[in-house]
Amino acid sequence: MIDTNHKIEFNPEACIGCQICYKACFVDVIRWDEENRRPVFQYVEDCEHCEYCEAKCPKGCIRVIPDYSSQSFRQTFNRYSKGSRELWED
Protein backbone atom coordinates (compact mmCIF):
# COMPACT_ATOMS: atom_id res chain seq x y z
CA MET A 1 0.00 0.00 0.00
CA ILE A 2 1.27 3.46 -0.92
CA ASP A 3 1.70 5.76 2.06
CA THR A 4 0.08 9.02 0.95
CA ASN A 5 -2.37 11.67 2.02
CA HIS A 6 -2.96 13.43 -1.30
CA LYS A 7 -6.27 15.26 -1.53
CA ILE A 8 -8.39 16.64 -4.31
CA GLU A 9 -11.11 19.08 -3.31
CA PHE A 10 -14.12 19.36 -5.58
CA ASN A 11 -17.08 21.75 -5.54
CA PRO A 12 -19.98 19.91 -7.24
CA GLU A 13 -22.34 22.90 -6.97
CA ALA A 14 -20.17 25.06 -9.23
CA CYS A 15 -19.47 22.24 -11.73
CA ILE A 16 -21.13 22.60 -15.15
CA GLY A 17 -20.38 19.05 -16.31
CA CYS A 18 -18.10 20.03 -19.20
CA GLN A 19 -15.81 16.95 -18.83
CA ILE A 20 -12.62 19.00 -19.32
CA CYS A 21 -11.08 17.64 -16.10
CA TYR A 22 -12.03 14.09 -17.02
CA LYS A 23 -10.40 14.41 -20.45
CA ALA A 24 -7.35 16.16 -19.02
CA CYS A 25 -6.40 13.49 -16.48
CA PHE A 26 -3.84 11.17 -18.07
CA VAL A 27 -3.61 8.72 -15.16
CA ASP A 28 -7.31 7.89 -14.88
CA VAL A 29 -7.72 9.36 -11.40
CA ILE A 30 -10.71 11.31 -12.70
CA ARG A 31 -13.56 9.07 -13.85
CA TRP A 32 -16.92 10.20 -15.19
CA ASP A 33 -20.35 9.73 -13.63
CA GLU A 34 -22.60 9.81 -16.68
CA GLU A 35 -25.82 9.82 -14.70
CA ASN A 36 -24.98 12.85 -12.58
CA ARG A 37 -22.72 14.52 -15.19
CA ARG A 38 -19.96 14.98 -12.64
CA PRO A 39 -16.33 13.83 -12.26
CA VAL A 40 -15.50 11.11 -9.78
CA PHE A 41 -12.08 11.14 -8.13
CA GLN A 42 -10.68 7.67 -7.53
CA TYR A 43 -7.26 6.31 -6.62
CA VAL A 44 -6.11 9.79 -5.63
CA GLU A 45 -2.84 8.22 -4.49
CA ASP A 46 -2.00 7.76 -8.20
CA CYS A 47 -2.35 11.50 -8.95
CA GLU A 48 0.80 12.86 -10.63
CA HIS A 49 0.19 16.47 -9.51
CA CYS A 50 0.27 17.93 -13.00
CA GLU A 51 -2.61 20.16 -11.80
CA TYR A 52 -4.00 20.19 -15.32
CA CYS A 53 -7.50 19.48 -14.02
CA GLU A 54 -7.32 22.42 -11.62
CA ALA A 55 -5.83 24.78 -14.20
CA LYS A 56 -8.30 23.90 -16.96
CA CYS A 57 -11.55 23.82 -14.98
CA PRO A 58 -13.50 26.86 -16.23
CA LYS A 59 -15.35 27.19 -12.92
CA GLY A 60 -12.52 26.70 -10.44
CA CYS A 61 -14.15 23.62 -8.95
CA ILE A 62 -11.00 21.59 -8.35
CA ARG A 63 -8.11 22.04 -5.97
CA VAL A 64 -5.23 19.55 -5.97
CA ILE A 65 -3.48 19.29 -2.60
CA PRO A 66 -0.36 17.08 -2.83
CA ASP A 67 1.08 15.45 0.25
CA TYR A 68 4.71 16.44 -0.31
CA SER A 69 6.01 14.16 2.40
CA SER A 70 4.37 11.03 1.01
CA GLN A 71 6.03 8.02 -0.53
CA SER A 72 4.25 8.47 -3.87
CA PHE A 73 5.37 12.07 -4.18
CA ARG A 74 8.96 10.99 -3.61
CA GLN A 75 8.55 8.37 -6.34
CA THR A 76 7.34 11.07 -8.75
CA PHE A 77 10.12 13.42 -7.74
CA ASN A 78 12.75 10.73 -8.26
CA ARG A 79 11.40 9.94 -11.70
CA TYR A 80 11.44 13.51 -13.02
CA SER A 81 14.16 15.27 -11.07
CA LYS A 82 17.77 15.67 -12.18
CA GLY A 83 20.23 13.89 -9.92
CA SER A 84 18.41 14.63 -6.68
CA ARG A 85 17.49 11.06 -5.83
CA GLU A 86 19.69 10.94 -2.76
CA LEU A 87 17.61 13.71 -1.16
CA TRP A 88 14.60 11.41 -0.93
CA GLU A 89 16.02 8.04 -0.04
CA ASP A 90 14.69 6.63 3.20
Q: Which residues bind ligand SF4 (CB under 6 A)?
A: 15-21, 24-25, 27, 29-30, 39, 47-53, 57-59, 61-62, 64
State the nearest-atom distance from the C-beta of 86 to ligand SF4, in Å: 26
**Least gap, CB of 87 to ligand SF4 (angstroms):** 23
Pair 77, 88: CB distance under 8 Å: yes
DSSP readout, 47-84? -----HHHHH-TT--EEEE--TTSHHHHHHHHHHSSS-
Report in angstroms how near the CB of residue 26 gets to ligand SF4 at its nearest.
Answer: 6
